[in-house]
Structure 1
Amino acid sequence: MSDTVRPTLVIGNKNYSSWSLRPWLLLRHHGVDFDEVRLPLDTPEFYATIGNYSPTGRVPVLRAGDLVIWDSLAILEYSNERWLDGAGWPRDIAARALARAVSAEMHSGFQNLRTQCPMDCVKRSTAPVSAEVLRDIERIGALWRDCRAKYAAGGPFLFGGFSIADAMYAPVALRIVSYAIPVGPVERGYIDALLALPALREWLSDADAEQRAKRESR
């Protein structure tokens, strides 16, 4: 496949689709040029169209020429190798191994947080969350604090500079904000660093516009 092929990233609603945010954020942060196809989740349009793009019927999916990649972490890994010259992971081998472990834990874990506190970028709730969610948050907070203690000298993100690990945890940060989940000062500082990213601000602006358009169409 030619390096000049312009990729297409197929995503769901920006307000709700946490898995779509992860590769989108990495690509946008690094200035990778791609086409975006946004399909509103759980709508007739989605079900009528998604089969044209994804073999699983889910988003996100990256298409680059004849290549189709339908898993968020696989998209992140491919993007890192194809367009980022490895900059998506820390350069240090030990830090890179830890970043992959941290990212894999997010990819497969924290089911209570995911199911009970779905991503909703514009939502602001003060209702208490369950003990199960708080246990997930405790583990996430421990991960974040450990990474920040080791790599804070390199920048404000988990491994200093922005990495795939941060793309994986950006939706968690948004959930903490949306559901007013209490966290400590290290976690709050990390969330603030993510929220200051121009790419994430763009995503949140688009999510807000989606919801305004949805309200106005009723």
Structure 2
Amino acid sequence: MPAERPTLYIGNRNYSSWSLRAWLLMRELGIDFDEHPLRLFSEEFRSVLAKVSPVARVPLLVDDGLAIWESLAIVEYLAERHPQAGVWPADPRERARARAVCAEMHAGFGNLRSRMPMNIEASLPGMGWDLAVQADIDRIVSIWTELRTLHAARGPFLFGEFCAADAFFAPVCSRFTTHAVALPPICDQYRQTVLALPAMREWTDKALAEHCFLPEDEPYRRAP
């Protein structure tokens, strides 16, 4: 009998930036999986995850009974299980750098996260901005500018070809769109490139079709 496909548990597409990272990486690299969407903060969310994981957190990858609930751990597991998929750059130095910027994204940018959360359906120009948020934006602009300049000849992504680093910054591309963040041309082009990915368009379309919003979003929903 063929082995069961791994299952990726995800939260609402409109909000769940961490879910997007794992989902986009797997979808864009052609890593086969089943998805199990759950509404964040619901009783179903807690009860379903309690059956398969010691932590009620998404994304959650379950493969042959193994539960992996941290996005960086999911990425490393996928890299080991699918060494030819291109999860990380092939060059060891570039691979180390890609891991570093993913770890920085994973652990940092708290002001941007809290003040400008991912909200695909909403249009919030300038909302949440302050000097601390701008410092996070400036650091991201610095990362994107340096990596795009270094690898421009090899492709349109941070390390030329799409890899985990692009998946980790994909929610930032969405945040910058929602909040109309002004970017230098090289960074804005990168933002548009990520948003144009087929898998990213799929995620966005499904997010817009969810019609599942937090109450505080109502004043800021896009006009139909």
Q: TM-score, normalised by structure 2?
A: 0.90
Distance in 2 separating the partners of 1:121 and 1:187: 19
Output the aligned Cα RMSD: 1.9
Distance in 2 separating the partners of 1:99 and 1:117: 24
Q: Residues 3 and 84 of structure 1: is their aligned pair in 2 closer, same or farther, counting only changes over 3 Å?
A: farther
Divergent runs of 4+, >4 A? 212-215
Q: TM-score, normalised by structure 1?
A: 0.93
Indicate the residue corresponding to 1:56 in structure 2.
55
Q: Residues 66 and 212 of structure 1: is their aligned pair in 2 closer, same or farther, counting only changes over 3 Å?
A: closer
Matching residue's letter, 2:70: D
Instruction: Map Cα deviations across residues 128-149 of structure 1 (whole Å, 9 max, x no partner).
Output: 4111111100000000000011
Indicate the residue corresponding to 2:183 in structure 1.
183
Structure 2: stretches of 5+ with no match in the other structure: 219-224
What secondary structure is seen at the aligned counterpart in 1 of 2:211? helix
Indicate the residue corresponding to 1:208 in structure 2.
208
Matches within 5 A, 1:25-104: 25-85=24-84, 87-104=86-103
8 A Cα contact 1:53 1:61, kept in partner: no
Matching residue's letter, 1:189: Q
Indicate the residue corresponding to 1:153 in structure 2.
153
8 A Cα contact 1:145 1:186, kept in partner: yes
Q: CA deviation at 1:84?
A: 4.6
Distance in 2 separating the partners of 1:83 and 1:204: 26
8 A Cα contact 1:30 1:84, kept in partner: no
Matching residue's letter, 2:185: P
Q: Residues 162 and 33 of structure 1: is their aligned pair in 2 closer, same or farther, counting only changes over 3 Å?
A: same
Structure 1: stretches of 5+ with no match in the other structure: none
8 A Cα contact 1:9 1:61, kept in partner: yes
Q: CA deviation at 1:211?
A: 2.1
Identity of aligned residues (%): 48
Matching residue's letter, 1:70: W
Distance in 2 separating the partners of 1:87 and 1:6: 19
Size of the alignment, in residue pairs? 214
